[in-house]
Amino acid sequence: MSEKNIIQPVRWLDDTGRIFVSPGAAADIPGMVDIIDQTKLPHRLERLHLTDVTAVCGAIQRLSVRGAPAIGCAAALGLAACAQRFRTADPEAFLVQLHRTADTIAAERPTAVNLAWAIRRTVAAVRPGTIREMQQCLLDEALTILADDRARCAAIGQHGMSLLKPGMGVLTHCNAGALATGGCGTALAPIYTAWQAGCALHVFSDETRPLLQGSRLTAWELTAAGIPVTTICDSMAAQVMREGKIQLVIVGADRVAANGDTANKIGTYQLAIAARYHRIPFYVALPESTIDRTIPTGDAIPIEQRPADEIAHCPGAAIYNPAFDVTPHELITGFITENGIFSAIP
């Protein structure tokens, strides 16, 4: 693959050839969040400009922006963008509307803790002042959250690359890459970093039913970066492990309880069981903002139920469609965070 075909994982070219970061704040249009519409990938690279609470909530709910850290960044930027448009000259009324909007956005998806965390952090950054000053506080904090996330991803990549050796087959689930974060990803960060350092590895990407984040998004971004990737159906993972093609599993996380129990995309738990059976190390990569120390175990993690039409084919059949599962901490070999690799939650 020639160098000009290798794109940086955190930057994308839109149809007009402009480089942008997703999610990001459109520098040229105040009060706007700029995201890639992930529902259109891999067929079309389209941008969405979000300017009000309906648009921000809709984008989060239908997974136009998705992945725990990216949801957090988009929510923070979205709140700052909405606050540019509040129609009031009264600072008290501005704060009332800010809290109401913050609560609405934070309630959009319940499992990824980064959403509520980023909203709380953005609101807490507001210092009393004029409306203009408060709007600036919100935007500054949202951009700091985005910049922090980018730095955390880079650090996860640096720490995690020590686990990767040339020739390895690495299995991942869902999409925990550049599309899912403000940087180069969590689970994919060590892969990008090792690859850029010359470590020739091969990625196996679960399809990730029902919304195909693996076969649509992980396969797309790794292919764009020139990294060899093979898509498999979720149900093939144990067999591919048995065939000796997988030496390491790395997944992302939506919320990790204080004891290390980890909520991630539905299907992660069964991967961890299969990996344990085949004696394959199973790592979770996450920024520490994904740890929820207020809950002791995974039993307390709220699991989002998605609409029936995502999996319904036969009229009359009942539908059960949880978007996430919880992998017990004892099945997890280690956690790769921005601060290092740990066998238990630091």
User: Whose CA is closest to 92, among 82, 81, 104, 100?
Assistant: 100
User: Whose CA is closest to 179, among 234, 144, 139, 220?
Assistant: 220
Q: Of 112 and 194, which CB lies nearer to ligand MRU in the complex structure?
A: 112
Q: Of 45 and 131, which CB lies nearer to ligand MRU in the complex structure?
A: 45
How far apart are CB 68 and ligand MRU at their closest, in Å? 4
DSSP summary character for residue 26: -
Nearest residue by C-beta to ligand MRU?
A: 252
Give contact residues for ligand MRU (rule: CB under 6 A): 63, 66-69, 112, 174, 176, 180-181, 186, 213, 252-254, 264-265, 323
Q: Of 139 and 224, which CB lies nearer to ligand MRU in the complex structure?
A: 224
How far apart are CB 255 and ligand MRU at their closest, in Å? 9
- Report d(CA 72, CA 114) in Å as an integer: 5
Q: Of 97 and 264, which CB lies nearer to ligand MRU in the complex structure?
A: 264
Phi, psi for 55 (deg, rounded to 5): -70, -40
How far apart are CB 300 and ligand MRU at their closest, in Å? 18
Instruction: State yes or no: is 149 an active-site residue.
Output: no
* Orientation of helix 68-83 relative to helix 53-61, angle to 10°: 170
DSSP summary character for residue 173: -
Set 34, 149, 254, 261: catalytic member: 254
Residue that the structure tokens 């969040």 belong to: 33
How far apart are CB 163 and ligand MRU at their closest, in Å? 17
How far apart are CB 335 and ligand MRU at their closest, in Å? 13
Q: Of 72 and 169, which CB lies nearer to ligand MRU in the complex structure?
A: 72
Handedness of CA 17, 154, 211, 235 (dihedral sign): positive
Q: Of 24 and 67, which CB lies nearer to ligand MRU in the complex structure?
A: 67
- Report d(CA 54, CA 101) in Å as an integer: 10
Residue 19 buriedness (CB in 10 A; 0-12 / 13-18 / 19+): exposed
Q: What is the 3-state secondary structure (H, E, C) of 211-277?
A: CCHHHHHHHHHHHHCCCCEEEECHHHHHHHHHCCCCCEEEECCCEEECCCCEEEECCHHHHHHHHHH
Where in 28-103 does DSSP place strands (E)?
33-36, 47-50
How far apart are CB 290 and ligand MRU at their closest, in Å? 7
Catalytic positions, written as ranges: 254
